Amino acid sequence: MNVIIQAVQRDVFPAEFSALTDGEALPKKSPLFSLSPVLEKGLLRIGGRLTHAPLEHAEKNPLVLPKRNHVSTLLVSYHHKQVKHQGRHFTEGAVRSSGLWIIGCKRLVSSVIHECVTCRKLRGKREEQTMADLPPERLSTSPPFSYVGLDVFGPWKVTARRTRGGHAESKRWAILFTCMSTRAVHIEVIESMDTSSCINALRRFFAIRGPAKQLRSDCGTNFIAASKELGLTKQQQQGPSIQRYLSDQGCSWEFNPPYSSHMGGSWERMIGVARRIFDSILLQEHVHLSHEVLCTYMCEVSAIINGRPLTPVSTDPDAPFLLTPAMLLTQKGAMPPPPGDFSDKDLHQSQWRQVQALESTFWTRWRREYLPTLQSRRKWVGERCNLQQGDVVLLKDSQAARNEWPLALVTATYPSQDGKVRKVEVKTATQGTPKTFLRPVSAVILLLSKED
């Protein structure tokens, strides 16, 4: 070891070796000038002021090593493993206790910890990417519920029938449909999580709100796969019949990757609001739920959500009307509106002119007041490096401890329109059986990049 350290010192500090050998003073530009180095048995050691301290010789006069050297990196990695992959403070203390003085040790230790695969497995952060631009469906002035995001929530226990022993109970769920542009909601109660109940709910929704052009839903917790707690996690097992029905209706269906609820935030947020309103109703009413009562309450929940203002409430007395989804819900017709531009004076004309004037007023205020609120990014602002095919990652598993999360290999990436990768295909092995999953980048932790 001393031979290797001596070779490194002579290679990096030739001027210091020459000056100390000849008994000359070190140049002021030397990185060892403030350390008062001494030459002992051909090795550079720190002089310092601890000569009379009751310490070991290696601690009073540690060996000097440079920061940018492979030997220094190997020694720091060794001591980092000795302290069981603890933080910089632990590792730096172990290096100093071993009788080594590495110039710029803090940065070198931080760099070693940053590159440590074990530390990434233990404490590494999940991957992030810049927040994507809003899809065209969120920004178009299309009729309400033309572009819809949907998800299931529940269940609730309802009284199915009366028996001699009391009440027979069954479960009910609800599907929440959210209009991507107007932010209006529609709720349908379903009796089960099977395909037939989902199709019936879609048929009722289309009959009331008119046909939709596109549906968006999650792959892991949507109305097809249901939630993880219910054990319905494979969309392929229940999707074909629903897809066939939607294609007959002229509607497309887009799926988000599994475990990516943040990609459906526009409707996931509405589910949270609906839950809070429904909990408040149950707290005040104190009634036993039946199927009919649950349907009634869900209609009231929809009415409350659709009556919320989309923009901050104005204090201007000349603008007393709020911009709410309820303003437009009854204005959707099966036939396109007559051509022409309609103003406020048409409110006092015939009924069809009143309808078109209200619709024109809504979309004008929607463009002027609501769209600007969607401009800024609240989080995920900075750009991150894209994952690449061949990267080794740690796959998040919420059902297992972090030490048991499986390793996976990125086999494919799916860049968005802006070139940023937010969805990847990973391959892992479970009990010796290879499996392939589609996951968002927020569900993986990069361990080794393709270049490494």
Q: What is the pLDDT of residues 344-393, one digit of tens each?
A: 554 444 455 555 666 777 788 888 888 888 888 888 888 888 999 999 99
Transcribe 334-399 into DSSP letters. SSPPPSS---GGGGGS-HHHHHHHHHHHHHHHIIIIIGGGGSS-SS--S--PPP-TT-EEEEP-TT
Residue with tokens 């572009």: 147
- Residue among 218, 309, 297, 207 at smallest CA distance from 257: 218
Q: d(Cα 397, Cα 292) in Å, to the nearest integer?
A: 39
Tokens of 176: 């929440």
Amino acid at 18: S
Q: What is the CA radius of gyration of the chain?
A: 33
What average pLDDT does the segment 108-136 reach?
90
Q: For residue 49, how many other CB atoms are within 10 A of its CB?
A: 8
Q: What is the distance of C-alpha 15 from the center of its chain?
A: 54
Q: Is the pLDDT of residue 112 over 50?
A: yes
Quote the pLDDT of residue 424. 93
Transcribe 42-84 into DSSP letters. TEEE---S-TTSSS-HHHHSPEEE-SSSHHHHHHHHHHHHHTT
Helices (H) and strands (E) in the chain, counts: 13, 14
Whether 101 contacts 139, CB under 8 Å: no
Q: Is the pLDDT of residue 401 over 70?
A: yes
Distances in whole angstroms, Cα of residue 182 to Cα of each of 86, 141, 247, 322, 437: 51, 8, 24, 14, 34
What average pLDDT does the segment 327-344 reach?
51
pLDDT-derived band at 109 (thresholds 50, 70, 90) equals very high
Q: For residue 11, how many other CB atoms are within 10 A of its CB?
A: 11
Quote the pLDDT of residue 28. 75
Q: Is the pLDDT of residue 225 over 50?
A: no
Q: Is the pLDDT of residue 199 over 50?
A: yes
Higher pLDDT, 77 or 399: 77
Whether 157 contacts 137, CB under 8 Å: no
Q: d(Cα 197, Cα 120) in Å, to the nearest integer?
A: 44
pLDDT-derived band at 228 (thresholds 50, 70, 90) equals very low
Cis, peptide link before residue 37, omega less than 30° from 0:
no
pLDDT-derived band at 334 (thresholds 50, 70, 90) equals very low
55: phi then psi, degrees, rounded to nearest 5: -125, 165
Quote the pLDDT of residue 249. 61
Quote the pLDDT of residue 170. 87
- First vs last C-alpha separation in the chain: 28
Question: What value does the mean pLDDT of the chain take?
Answer: 81
Q: What is the distance of C-alpha 199 from the center of its chain?
A: 30
Q: Are strands 444-448 and 392-395 parallel, antiparallel or unpaired?
A: antiparallel
Q: 72 CB contacts (<8 Å, ≥6 apart)?
A: 8, 65, 66, 102, 108
What average pLDDT does the segment 109-128 reach?
91
Quote the pLDDT of residue 367. 85
- Percent of residues, the chain, with pLDDT higher than 90: 28
Whether 394 contacts 407, CB under 8 Å: yes
Whether 211 contacts 172, CB under 8 Å: no
Transcribe 382-440 into DSSP letters. S--PPP-TT-EEEEP-TTS-GGGPPEEEEEEEEE-TTS-EEEEEEEEEETTEEEEEEEE
Quote the pLDDT of residue 236. 40
Residue 102 in 3-state DSSP? strand
Q: For residue 414, how many other CB atoms are within 10 A of its CB?
A: 11
Q: Nearest 5 degrees, angle CA 163-CA 167-CA 172?
A: 130
Quote the pLDDT of residue 346. 47
Ramachandran region of residue 65, left (φ > 0), alpha (ψ -120 to 50) or beta? beta
Exposed e or buried b per residue across 320-353, where buried means at least 16 C-beta atoms within 10 angstroms of its C-beta: eeebbbbbbbebbeeeeeeeeebeeebeeeeeeb
What average pLDDT does the segment 174-197 reach?
90
What average pLDDT does the segment 64-82 reach?
91
Whether 388 contacts 450, CB under 8 Å: yes
- Count Cα neighbours of 161 within 13 Å in the Cβ-side half-sphere: 2
Q: d(Cα 354, Cα 339) in Å, to the nearest integer?
A: 14
Any idea what DSSP says for residue 288?
-
Q: d(Cα 410, Cα 428) in Å, to the nearest integer?
A: 9
pLDDT-derived band at 59 (thresholds 50, 70, 90) equals confident
Quote the pLDDT of residue 354. 54
pLDDT-derived band at 229 (thresholds 50, 70, 90) equals very low
Tokens of 134: 């809003």
